Structures are given as structure tokens and as C-alpha cells.
Amino acid sequence: MAADAPHPAFEPYAAEPVPQAPVGAPGKEGRLELAFAADEDGQTHLVRDFARVPFHLSGTLGHDPHPDAETVFVQSPSGGVAQGDRHTIDVEVKNGGVAHVTTGSSTKVLTMERNYAAADVSLSVGSGSHLDYVPEPVIVNPDARYYQELRLDVAPDATAVVGDVVVPGRLARGERFDFERYVSRLACHSDGDLLFEDATHLTPADGDPTAPGVMGEYSVYGTLFVVAPERDGDALSDAIHDRVTERTEAGESNARAAATTLPNDAGVVVRALGHRAEDVTGLLHAAWDEARSELLDVGAPDGRKL
Amino acid sequence: MSDESTLAALRLADSALPVGTDSVSYGLEQFVAEDRVEDAEDLRALLETYLRRQLGVADLVALRVAHEGATGGEDGTEDDVDAVVAADRRLSATTLTAEFRESSTRTGERLLSLQRELRDDTVLDEYAAAVEAGDAPGNHAVVLGAVAGRDGVDADEACLVACHGFVTGLLGAAQRLLRLGHTDVQRTVDELRPVMTTAVEDSADRSLDEMEPFAPLVDVASADHERADRRLFVS
């Protein structure tokens, strides 16, 4: 069992049996596969889809301001991610397609007593294609242990926007960093070469997340990666930085965000910190909108979920 | 370690080593500009974050791999410049702020060329050729690991040199940014001793796959510093 742990810190958890539905039982191994491709007219279609509980798809939406884009809202009928859950998500965009994948609501990682929950996400963006993978925030409840791994493969002339926001508990209930462990890792490759990687590893018992320089006075943390290997990263970084700082400087947001260029000319990363989830998602949405305008000449879809 | 190697370590840890550490602040200048760092206690707390969340979990991990590559493994295997280059590239891939990468490669390249002025060394020559060809970025921690290893400094000692050099470098920057007495500076270095040794221990258990620097507020401050109007430091 322990050999299956995705990270050394999760080996002790992996050895713990799950008392109710065990790992691998129906409903525990969620699977989602989506493939998008553009047709000869340039219109993107969902050409393959497979969803196993708790993932649910209810078709595509013509929600995107981009005329050729396709949107999928991934839904989950379950109350949240429980101990022993293993979710696998594969998304592929090819043939010049423009696809947007998001979730209908926040992902709640439930309180755990044993084992852990994990999500394994693979995103592949083929030549000339664009993917927006911008799920709603992950809320990590007390005593939860969550591991998320995201692999992004982007063709040199493709582009991608990937967002990740973590909320350290149900803040309105006074929960804050009461979970046991949260790890989110991302690695981005192009043509077999590693472009960049990022890791968020929060273990409040071992290291204070609110230490100076870590998260300080902030609770909610988000990152938006804008991967565009063939674009001018400095110009993109400055445009996005101006956009995300103008609201904070005008006193309209008490969150803060900043943009910097990624290693290996991969594009731009935006880090955002705030007191509430909507402050962080608001700034990252502005960054996404700016990135979209630069990359696709059209802004981001409306962030509000109807 | 031999007496010769101890002296080599002391030379590499000396703040007079002319590699440009006096021109970098790794975001500290921005923390001071925002009044987040106002005194020695604020400074100590922020330096603790750098040591715990950046050096111990990333830079020192790459330093150890470079050290082993430059000196050969414990089993007496031959030196392996490819391992030094791999650690170097991996460290850049995990360093997500532009100013951190720039500061690290600027000081790294200076240390590498300085060392090659002092003596001929085929391993350092081969590594420098990779840096010049653009195949290796020349990060400071990686250069230090290779240079120290070639001078007989063992890996733990080289990590301690890296920590000491980083802390004294940032304290030097702090003295130009803040009103800070000499005793405050010495007290801060002294108080950070256990944090430095813990960072060195943390790095020993990690492979390159397990590098996980995490200091988002430092990242944001560094990105803001890129656009700051008046700057004394390049980072």
C-alpha cells in the first residue's frame, strides 16, 4: 500500500485502511476524460468524454466569448472529497481547439481520520490549441489530507491557462489551517523538456503557514499559470501585472497579486493572496481575462456561475 | 575535513568574496519598502522563512546533487558534470520569480569564473562550458556545491556555507535599508544558527524530485520589486 503513495509525506497515510468504502470501491475512484478538437471550420467540439462517479457531465455550454471555443462544467453530485478517494482527470485539446474546463462549485475536501484523498490531473495541449483549466477553489476542512498532482504538457506553439486556489477551511466558521496536510504539485513540460514546476506544501503542525513571507496575514492562496512558450513573456507579465495591481492600488481589493515571468521562457505566473476566496478568484479572473485578451484577442468567460 | 578544506570553506563563506552578493536582496528591499520589515526581529523572522522554505527545500538540495556530481559519489564513482548540469536546470525550473533566477545566476557565474581564475580544474571547466553554451543556467547554489566539492569541503559544510553566506548577504543589504546596529546583526546571525542547521538537515533527505520551495508572499514581493521605481538592489 505504502508503495502507492504519491509523495513520501503520504506514505504513513497510505498504510491506513479506510473503514467504510475502501480505496477503489465504487464511487472512490472517480475518473474523467475529456478530449477536444477543432473541426475543419475551426469550431471546437468535445470529441470524447467519459465520466465515472463522482464526476458528472451535463453536456457542453456555449458560454465562451470566443466564437470557436467549447466549455465543459464538471459537476459532482457528492458532498465532497472523502478519505480514500482517488480521482483521475485527463484533458486533451488538439487540432487547434480552444477549450475551457471548470467546475460548477468549490471542491470540498472533507474531514478525515484515516488514509488521504488524491487527485491526479493530466492536461495535454496540442499544436496551435488553447486550454483554460480554471476550476473553482479547493476548500480543505479540518484534519483533511489532500494530495493533488497536475501534469501539463503544452506544445511549443500552444497556450494554456491553469488556475489553482486553496482555501484553508470554512473561513466563515472560524476554521483556518486546521487541516493536516495539503500538497499541490504541478509540472509543465514541452517537447519532453521540463519548463517549470511548482509545489504548495502546507502542514500547519510542522510549519506556520502564516509566517512572514509565507502567507503572512492572508488565508487564501491562488496561482494562475499562463503558459505561452512562443510569446514575449516580459510584455505578457507586465500587462497582467498592471491589470492585477490596479484594483488593489485603487483600494478596491484587499487581496494582492503580482506577475512574474516563468523559467525557460514558458510564460507568466501570477500569485495571489487574500482574506476571502472571492478576493483571490477575483484578481485571478482579472489576470485570466488579460491573458486571454493577449493570447486569443478575446477576454475570459464571465466568472459568475449561474 | 582537512585544515585546507576548512580554510577553503571559510574563504567561500567570507562576505568579502567578490561575487556580487552585495547587489542582491531577494525581495528584502520590497519588504522594507512596505514596512513589513522594520527591525531586527522582523528581519530574523523573514530570514527564517527563506532558510526553511527556500534554501532547505530547494537550493541546498540542488547544491548537494551538484557537490556529489563534482566530486564523485561516496562509493568512489567518477565525477559527473551531467549531474551538476541537471541539478542546475532543475533548480531554475523550480525558481518561479524572475529576480530570484537573475540574482542566483549572476552571483553563480561570478563565483564560477572567480574560482577558475584561481586554479585549473577540469570539472569546473566542463561545467563552465555548459553554462557558456546556455545548457546550464549557473545558479549560485549549484556553483557553490561544485566549487566547494572540488576544494574538499564536504556536502554538509558546503550547505552551511550557503546558509551563512545567504544570511550575512541579506543582513548586509538590511544594514543599507534599515537602521540596524552591528550587535543586532551579530545577534541575528547567532539566533539563526539552529534554523540554518535544520535547513541543512532537511535538505539531506530530499531528491531533486522533492524540491518544494514555498513562500508566496516573498514571490509577490519579488514580482512587485521588479517594477519598483527606486531600487538599490537588483532583487
Condensed to tens digits (0 to 9), the pLDDT of residues B67-106 reads 999 998 555 567 799 999 999 999 999 999 999 999 999 9
In chain A, whose CA is at the least distance from the CA of B220? A258
Question: B176-208 as b/e, with b when 16 or more CB fall inside 10 Å?
Answer: ebbebeeebbeebbeebeebbeebbebbeebeb
In chain A, whose CA is at the least distance from the CA of B205? A8
Cβ–Cβ of A263/B93 closer than 8 Å? yes
Confidence label for A1 from pLDDT (cuts 50, 70 and 90): very low
Cβ–Cβ of A201/B226 closer than 8 Å? no
Best B53, B227, B229, B235 residue to mutate vs chain A (most A CBs within 10 Å):
B227
* Chain A residues within an 8 Å CB radius of B93: 194-197, 263-264
Q: Is B219 on the interface with A (CB under 8 A)?
A: yes
Cβ–Cβ < 8 Å for A179, A168: yes
**For A142-167, what is the mean pLDDT?**
98
Give the number of A-B residue pairs with CB atoms closer than 8 Å: 100
Q: Is B134 on the interface with A (CB under 8 A)?
A: no
Condensed to tens digits (0 to 9), the pLDDT of residues A182-233 reads 999 999 999 999 999 999 999 999 999 999 999 999 999 999 999 999 999 9
Cβ–Cβ < 8 Å for B112, B138: yes
Pairing state of beta strands A138-140 and A107-109? parallel
Cβ–Cβ of B216/A260 closer than 8 Å? no
Phi-psi region of B15 (alpha: psi -120 to 50; beta: other; left: phi over 0): alpha
A164 residue type, one letter: D
What count of other Cβ atoms lies within 10 Å of the Cβ of residue B10?
Answer: 12
Cβ–Cβ < 8 Å for A61, A71: yes
pLDDT, averaged across chain A = 93
Cβ–Cβ < 8 Å for A208, A183: no
Q: Give me the residues of B, 164-203, that contact A with CB < 8 A.
A: none
To 10 degrees, the CA torsion angle through B189, B193, B194, B198?
Answer: 110
The torsion angles phi and psi of A89, rounded to 5 degrees, stand at: -130, 130
**For B154-174, what is the mean pLDDT?**
97
Pairing state of beta strands A44-52 and A181-190? unpaired
Positive/negative CA dihedral, B200, B205, B210, B216: negative
Query: What cell was used for A261?
Result: 515571468
Tell me the residue length of chain A. Answer: 306
Write down the CATH number for the domain with range B3-226: 1.10.4190.10
What is the interface pTM, i.e. ipTM, of the complex?
A: 0.95
Question: A180-204 as b/e, with b when 16 or more CB fall inside 10 Å?
Answer: bbbbbbbbbbbeeebbbbbbbbbeb
Burial of A67 (0-12, 13-18, 19+ CB in 10 A): exposed
In chain B, whose CA is at the least distance from the CA of A214? B215
Q: Which residues contact A235 (CB under 8 A, 6 or more apart)?
A: A294
Cβ–Cβ of B212/A259 closer than 8 Å? no
- Range in A46-60, B73-87, B194-208 with the lowest mean pLDDT: B73-87
